[in-house]
Structures are given as C-alpha cells and as structure tokens.
Amino acid sequence: MEARRDSNLAWSAFAIGSTLYTAFSITPAVRGESSAEVFDTVHRLAGELARWHPPLQLVTQTVFVREAADREFCEAVFGAFPRHPQALTHVVLQPPADGARVAVEAWAVGGPQVRVQRESPWRVEVRQEGLRWIHVAGLYARLPGAPLMAQAQELFDRCGWQLREAGANWRSVVRMWWQVPDILGPNGSGRRYAELNRAREEAFRQILRPPVVDGAADGPAAPPPLSEFLYPASTGIGAEPGGTLALASVALTGLSGKGALLGLENPLQMPAYCYPPHLAAPPPMFSRAVALRLPEGLWIWISGTASIVGAEVEHPDDPTAQTEQTLDNIAALLSGENFARHGWPGVEAGLEDLVSARVYVKRPQDVPACRAVCERRLAKCPKLYLIADICRPALRVEIEGVAFVGPHRARAG
C-alpha cells in the first residue's frame, strides 16, 4: 500500500492485478461560506485524480455536510464532477469534526483492464477482469413522515430493484451503510434503531424465503436458518435531525472460480445477530466484517465497530478507553487466529493494513481524545472524523474501515 497525507488531504493506493484502487479523504483547505468550501474540496479532489498515471476514474464520493441546507447544493456540485460523469454521489448529514461545512471520502480506480459505467442515477458498476462491483448510493427515504421501519423497507425495495436491474440480488451484497437521523429516538430509547433492525430482519427473511413452485406436492423447501446467511458488513449510524434515512451498498458478482467470500465474527464479541432481547429486539443482522480473498490479495470490509466486549459496552464514560477498545476489537477481528478459526488458516491482517476509515464521535468535546488514539494507532490510514450519534447511549465512538493485504498474506491453506 502507498499512502500520503497532509492536514486536509490523505490517500492510499493498492493494486488488485492490473487495477489500481485509490481511497481519498479530503476536507477543505479554506473555511467560510458553503460554496467556497465545496468548490475547494472539489478542486482538490479533481487535482489529485488528474495527476495519476494510469488515469483514475472516480467511482463513488460520500459527502458529509454540516447543515441540511447544503445537501442539494453538494449533490448538484459533486454530481457534476468535472470529467467524471460516471461518479456516484451520496450526501450524508454528519458534520465533519474539525468544524468544516463539508468533507468527502472518495474511491477511484485505474488501469487497462477496468471499466466504470454509470447505469442509473443510483448505480455505478466497475468491471475488472471478470469481477463486477455494483455500487448503489444516493438512496434517501421518500416517506419522511412515515415510521422509520416503513422508510427502511422502502429503501430496501429500491436498492433491491437496482440490484435486480444489474442482474444481481441481495446475496451478492457485501457492504451496507445506513444513516439514521435521530437514531436513538425520543429520550435516547433506541426505538428508531430497533425499527431499522426490524426492517432488516424482515428483509433478510424475505431474501431467504424459497420460491413457491406450482404443483409441488410438499410445498417449498424450508429456508436455511438466518444464522447461516452471509450477512453483509454494515454500519447503522446516526445522522443529524433534519436529514433523511439514507442507504448505500456494494455488491459483487463474477467471483466464481476467482476467489471466495467469508463472513467474519469477532472473538471478543458476540455476533450482533445473536444479541439477547434485552439488548436488541430484534438483533441487528450484519457480519462484523466480510473478507474477499483473491489471488492478488485480501480485501476486508470492516463493519462499524465500537467498545463492546461480549455484548456489553466497555468503558462507558471514557472516550479514550473506548477508542482503544474499539481498535483492539478491530485488531482481533483481523488477526490470523481469527481467520484460522473461520477456516482460512495462513491469512491475517492488522490495523496497519487499513486503507480507509471513518471515525464517528458522539460528542464534539470527545474528538481530541479519540483523534489522539487513532492518529497513534492508524497513523498512515486516510480517515475522516465525523460527529454522529451511535446506536447505544453509552457508546462514544464507532470506527469502520477497509483493509487490504497483498497476496503473500492472503492465501488460505
């Protein structure tokens, strides 16, 4: 992995075969009016993309804004990104922790064997040497006055439609992001997050339900238990009140004969989908991580991770200790011992292999403490610090990311 960072821009780059993947984290170098910050951020990203050889093609850009009034402006400006009309834009109402009005996490690819094509306003596809990456983003709830469960079901339906149009389905999905305004709901009860979990449970049950065959003597076969389903890696995180429920996802097809996928659970944590009812009813259905093994290396999508050991919050009043525990949890998740217990001996990764990260901090006053830990333990990784509420009242920080390791550490025996 190559990496570079300054005070407002960081990137990392790694190759899968002949294709170069690049992750950028950018905040504006100028501060002031929204338009000035947005145009500065776009200009800096465009300049970075232009200097690479082979030329990079922008795939996705997740734009984090401080104020709801800036969402449409950012959609218009980033959506008309110069020389990159194929790029997909997803705008989220999560304030950058440094006080900026805008920040962006962007992914781009380059190489002779890669093609990027915009297939709809909400979908872009990347074809690379037989693999097809299907990115769906920019999905915002159209029923803002409805219960959150109904909003989530509507987004599941729209995302599923995009997958079907691409010739894929929910079993192809490896990563999801949910941004939930006022995630803890009235009085911090967590009711809105519970509604999202109910929508997830119902959606995954529908996915696993076998088709009814007309004339079948014994009816359809019983579906496999949900515990055997490869849940996507996922983040369900708060967004500022005044925003809308939003969904983005990544799916992968064309893997047969080229590699393998593995859902990872954490040796320090109970699987989220096994949480007891007093903590989550129904439980959140996601994998702690999903790993993709290819001959050229190992790609790992790390779900939103917090200071939870077993199923309980550790260090409830200490943001520094919570950040340390969160990174300890991610390190345990990526360890060779954990891959071996999942049936992939000889595979390992570490915190030093993270190529992109988002650090969500509940309270602005905790940012310096969380940042100090992350800058020490994730020194080279491009990352954004964002203000966002988290799914349990006692949690102060949540971290997600992507890790990549080369083929010398990515082969299973």
Give the helix/strand (H/E) hosting 297: strand 297-306
Tokens of 210: 């076998």
Tokens, residue 196 = 């999202």
Spatial contact of 25 and 383, defined as CB atoms under 8 Å apart: yes
The arrangement of strands across the sheet holding 88-92 comes to 2-5, 9-16, 19-26, 102-110, 57-65, 88-92
Long-range contacts, stretch 32-41, CB < 8 angstroms, 24+ apart: 34/67, 34/69, 34/70, 34/73, 34/101, 34/102, 35/73, 37/100, 37/101, 37/102, 38/70, 38/73, 38/74, 38/77, 38/78, 38/101, 38/102, 39/77, 41/102, 41/103, 41/104
Distance CA 283, CA 272 (A): 6
- Tell me the HSE value of 210 on the side-chain side, using a 13 A CA sphere: 11
Q: Minimal CA–CA distance to 270: which of 256, 283, 253, 257? A: 283
Indicate the residue type of 311: A
- Type of residue at 137: A
Q: CA torsion angle for 285, 289, 291, 297 (degrees, to 10)?
A: 160
Q: For residue 312, what are its two tokens?
A: 């309980």
Q: Is residue 72 flagged as an active site residue?
A: no
Given a contact cutoff of 8 angstroms between Cβ atoms, the answer to whether 173 and 249 are in contact is yes
> Please, which residues bridge with residue 366 across strands?
none
Report how far apart, in Å, the C-alpha atoms of 224 and of each of 196, 208, 263 are: 23, 7, 16
What radius of gyration, in Å, describes the C-alpha atoms of the chain? 20
Which entry of 105, 154, 398, 400 is annotated as an active-site residue?
398
Cross-strand bridge partners of residue 238: 180
- Cβ atoms of 274 and 281 closer than 8 Å: no
Burial 19-41 (b: 16+ CB within 10 A, else e): bbbbbbbbbbeeeeebeebbebb
Contact present, 86 and 122 (Cβ < 8 Å)? no
Catalytic residues: 398
